[in-house]
Amino acid sequence: MNHPMTMTQKILAKHAGLPYVEAGQLIEAELDLVLGNDITSPVAIRELEKIKKEEVFDREKIALVMDHFIPNKDIKSAENCKCVREFATKHDITHYYDVGEMGIEHALLPEKGLVVAGDAVIGADSHTCTYGALGAFSTGVGSTDMAAAMATGKAWFKVPSALRFVLTGKPAKWISGKDIILHIIGMIGVDGALYKSMEFTGDGISFLSMDDRFTIANMAIEAGGKNGIFPVDEKAKQYLKEHSAREYEVYTADEDAVYDEEYTIDLSKLKPTVAFPHLPENTKTIDEIKEPVKIDQAVIGSCTNGRLEDLRIAAKLLAGKKVAKGVRCIVIPATQQIYLEALKEGLLQTFIEAGAIVSTPTCGPCLGGYMGILARGERCISTTNRNFVGRMGDVESEVYLASPAVAAASAVTGYITAPEQ
């Protein structure tokens, strides 16, 4: 009997040791990596202590990345990091990243080669779905699931059904992965992919850089997705070769795999897209914005858009220009490596000369942490991933989500603006 499977279902079947799985089936899968950060790990560590577990399942398959409030912003964040640091030392965790080595987890792990195609990964952070760009199954879980996974190396899943997104055509200048995923979320809504796998395919993918793909997979969760996943093409293989020495496995969806819905998106028709408050689905293209939207702050960074390509785009638009009077422009490279590359390329000089500031890698303002909290009534254009009420500060502040190109162009004019073609 034929059991056609999607790409995600094939990875899950392999990790569950089953010949096939079907949507809705409950499985227990072996994990290749378990991830936690400085906010979610302490909760998991306390749960582990409760069950008196003396050993972790594999000290090389756990990654602990201190990135949300690092360097520590207050006593509580210092205590959290101390808790994780002591745990990492006690268990001799190989992949523990602290100040000086750390970066934003979802940019750092692919860069360090810790995730490869065909892996099954969970992380106690909702944006763990980023690694689907590499052809891995990765998804966010709660801290108790993280605790169980650190103890056993396994996790329970309900096998997701899938949505298929066929991307065709070549995007215009300044159109990036951020515009594509905002367009998709605007189209299907924040629960349009609830507990489903978002599988991307089509000839348009060849025009997307790895950074574009990381951005798209990263925001699968903003559509409610269980995971987002891309095919492993030549670009992905090249990336894997450059970053990891690990063997990887390429899975492809069966031609007769079942999808709940299929969407075709012509990338050549997309325009710069902005998500207005207070939901990522509340999107408008730049030419649909009729009234000028004045901004107080622009943030370029995060696990969504803090990669080197993002910084290069922002620098191109800020070169020889000045950030508008009254606007604060905050640039946050996602990892130490990206920071260093940006330094060598002169991007940091461009940012500083334009009147922007450059921060150490951190999640910072994205979740209302620090490094750019908003006061009442303030507006921020941001390359981050969420714009819920109070996400970046006061409940009466507003966050507008956009690409690095739109954020940089807006920082110069002082209101939401498209970059000039």
Pairing of strands 26-30, 154-158: antiparallel
3-state secondary structure (DSSP) of residue 267? helix
Nearest-angstrom CA–CA distance, 304 and 364: 13
The predicted-structure confidence for 131-162, as pLDDT tens digits, reads as follows: 999 999 999 999 999 999 999 999 999 999 99
Nearest-angstrom CA–CA distance, 84 and 340: 26
Angle at 306 between CA 264 and CA 252, to 5 degrees: 40
3-state secondary structure (DSSP) of residue 274? strand
What pLDDT score was predicted for residue 1? 67
Nearest-angstrom CA–CA distance, 13 and 22: 9
* Token pair in block for residue 369: 């942490």
Alpha-carbon torsion, ordered 11, 16, 17, 22, to 10 deg: -70
Name which of 282, 284, 330 is nearest 306 in CA terms.
330
Q: Are 272 and 406 in contact (CB under 8 A)?
A: yes
Which amino acid makes up residue 348?
Answer: L
* Helix H or strand E segment including 211: helix 210-218
Q: Scanning the structure block, which residue is given the tokens 């520590």?
A: 72
Q: 7-265 and 275-413: same fold?
A: yes
What pLDDT score was predicted for residue 51? 84
Which is the CATH superfamily of the domain at 275-413? Aconitase, domain 3 (3.30.499.10)
Residue 19 exposure: Cα atoms within 13 Å on the Cβ side = 3
Residues of the chain with pLDDT under 50: none
What pLDDT score was predicted for residue 352? 98
Q: Scanning the structure block, which residue is given the tokens 């409760």?
A: 50
* Token pair in block for residue 235: 């670009």
Pairing of strands 33-37, 62-65: parallel
User: If you write DSSP's letter for every residue of 319-349 in order, what string do you get?
Assistant: TT--PPTT-EEEE--SBHHHHHHHHHTTHHH
The predicted-structure confidence for 168-217, as pLDDT tens digits, reads as follows: 999 999 999 999 999 999 999 999 899 999 999 999 999 999 999 999 99
3-state secondary structure (DSSP) of residue 231? coil
Rounded to two decimals, the pTM is 0.95
Residues of 63-94 as b/e, b for ≥16 C-beta within 10 angstroms? bbbbbbbbebeeeebeebbebbbebbeebebe
Look up the CATH architecture of domain 7-265.
Answer: 2-Layer Sandwich (3.30)
Quickly count helices (H) and strands (E) in the chain.
Answer: 13, 18
* Token pair in block for residue 198: 């978002």
Nearest-angstrom CA–CA distance, 72 and 369: 11
What pLDDT score was predicted for residue 52? 80
Which amino acid makes up residue 91?
Answer: H
Q: For the chain, give the number of residues.
A: 421
* Token pair in block for residue 334: 């996602």
Q: Is the bond into 278 cis (omega within 30 degrees of 0)?
A: yes
In the chain, what are the domain boundaries? 7-265, 275-413
C-alpha dist (Å) from residue 277 to 117, 188, 371, 372: 35, 17, 21, 18
Helices 308-318 and 210-218: crossing angle, nearest 10°? Answer: 100
